[in-house]
């Protein structure tokens, strides 16, 4: 199970329809938050995502619309009795940010909050997947993130196993776990009955950025790319000046990278009532595009399901 819930999809200025940036990923019950704009904990309550299994908050950069929900999240977890530690990871100055929150907020928490500063290329190994950082191009130090699951074993060929004399039962399981078995004095290797390894799922989140080569390379064959799409192309000069992307630019990058699905987010308040200009120009380039909406949720399925 890999479910993405969009808790906040606004640009720098929130609107009645859109909260500041926050994306929650539920990976087999583990919760991971990417950015944490103001009011994120309330959005989690509205979306009924749960909160106590949140272990990591990954920040793309330290602009206010991406970080001001952190004190609220921590205090809410404290009121709910959390005792497990939580890690807040992000670019340079993340430690200073966390210490600042500790110094000005009277937390009633009984759990440890760890700050972790990352650089492009850093990898955090998790159980069954990893989170990698990528370089992005914004007006302040910034990062993007790749969540990629471990590769999976190939398909088990039952008929091949039987033809080699392996009886159905526990020996099938051993072969599927990558262990050799002995049948009537003959050693059967897993590769004799297992197909080629299969990829896990891959999610890329850019945060605020101009389209750039590192994001394109990181997005190759991604199942889902969530890309900055603050403005439409008639505001391309402003997007360039503020180091954001247009919907068309995001779509062009998605097409070049060969992603399966593009979601546009960080939507300017100019489109608070009608985001169709963004969607239409993006789909004219890359059809498999949607615009994120607050509390929208989608499941990323395995490619061979």
CATH code for the domain of 205: 3.60.15.10
pLDDT at 108 over 80: no
**8 and 294 in contact (C-beta within 8 Å)?**
yes
Is 182 found in the same domain as 142?
A: no
- Looking at residue 178, its pLDDT comes to 83
Q: Which tens digit of pLDDT belongs to each residue from 244-272?
A: 999 999 999 999 999 999 999 999 999 98
pLDDT at 17 over 80: yes
Residues 6+ apart with CB under 8 A from 101: 70, 71, 74
| Boundary (domain end) residue, out of 192, 209, 243 | 192
* Local structure of 252: helix, strand or coil: helix
- Looking at residue 46, its pLDDT comes to 96
Is 81 found in the same domain as 184?
A: no
Please give the Cα distance from 99 to 115 (Å, whole number): 9
Is 91 found in the same domain as 175?
A: no
Residue 180: inside a domain, yes or no? yes
Is 25 found in the same domain as 100?
A: yes
Is 267 found in the same domain as 140?
A: yes
Is 186 found in the same domain as 42?
A: no
- Looking at residue 143, its pLDDT comes to 98
Is 117 found in the same domain as 91?
A: yes
Q: Is this prediction's pTM over 0.85?
A: yes
Is 259 found in the same domain as 205?
A: yes
- For the annotated catalytic residues, the residue numbers are 65
Is 183 found in the same domain as 289?
A: no
Is 133 found in the same domain as 13?
A: yes
Average pLDDT for the chain:
94
Residue 305: inside a domain, yes or no? no
pLDDT at 305 over 60: no
Is 75 found in the same domain as 8?
A: yes
Neighbours of 212 (CB within 10 A): 18
Is 133 found in the same domain as 35?
A: yes
Tracing tokens 């969009």 back to the chain, one arrives at 6
Domain count, the chain: 2
- Looking at residue 107, its pLDDT comes to 64
Per the structure, the complete domain to which residue 242 belongs is given by: 2-152+198-299
The DSSP string of 99-145 is HHHHHHS-----S-EEEEE--TT-EEE-SSEEEEEEE---SSS-EEE
């Amino acid at each position: 199970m890999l479910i993405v819930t969009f808790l906040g999809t606004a640009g720098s200025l929130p609107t009645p329809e859109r909260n500041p940036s926050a994306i929650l990923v539920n990976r087999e019950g583990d919760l991971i938050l990417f950015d944490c704009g103001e009011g994120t904990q309330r959005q989690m309550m509205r979306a009924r995502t749960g909160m106590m299994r949140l272990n990591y908050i990954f920040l793309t950069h330290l602009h206010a619309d991406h970080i001001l929900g952190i004190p609220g999240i921590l205090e809410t977890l404290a009121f709910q009795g959390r005792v497990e530690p939580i890690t807040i990871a992000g670019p340079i100055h993340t430690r200073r940010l966390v210490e600042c929150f500790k110094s000005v907020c009277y937390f009633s928490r009984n759990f440890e909050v760890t700050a972790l500063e990352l650089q492009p290329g850093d990898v955090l190994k998790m159980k069954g997947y990893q989170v990698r950082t990528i370089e992005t191009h914004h007006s302040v130090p910034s990062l993007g993130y790749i969540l990629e699951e471990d590769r999976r074993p190939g398909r088990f060929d039952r008929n091949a196993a039987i033809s080699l004399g392996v009886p159905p039962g526990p020996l099938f399981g051993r072969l599927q776990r990558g262990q050799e078995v002995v049948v009537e004095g003959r050693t059967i290797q897993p590769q004799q009955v297992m197909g080629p390894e299969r990829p896990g799922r891959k999610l890329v989140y850019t945060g605020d950025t101009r389209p750039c080569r590192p994001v394109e390379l990181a997005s190759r064959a991604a199942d889902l790319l969530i890309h900055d799409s603050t403005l439409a192309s008639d505001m391309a000069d402003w997007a360039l000046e503020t180091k954001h992307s247009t919907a068309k630019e995001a779509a062009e990058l998605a097409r070049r990278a060969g992603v399966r699905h593009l979601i546009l987010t960080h939507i300017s308040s100019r489109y608070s009532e009608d985001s169709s200009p963004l969607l239409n120009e993006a789909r004219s380039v890359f059809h498999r595009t949607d615009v994120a909406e607050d509390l929208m949720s989608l499941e990323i399925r395995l490619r061979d399901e």
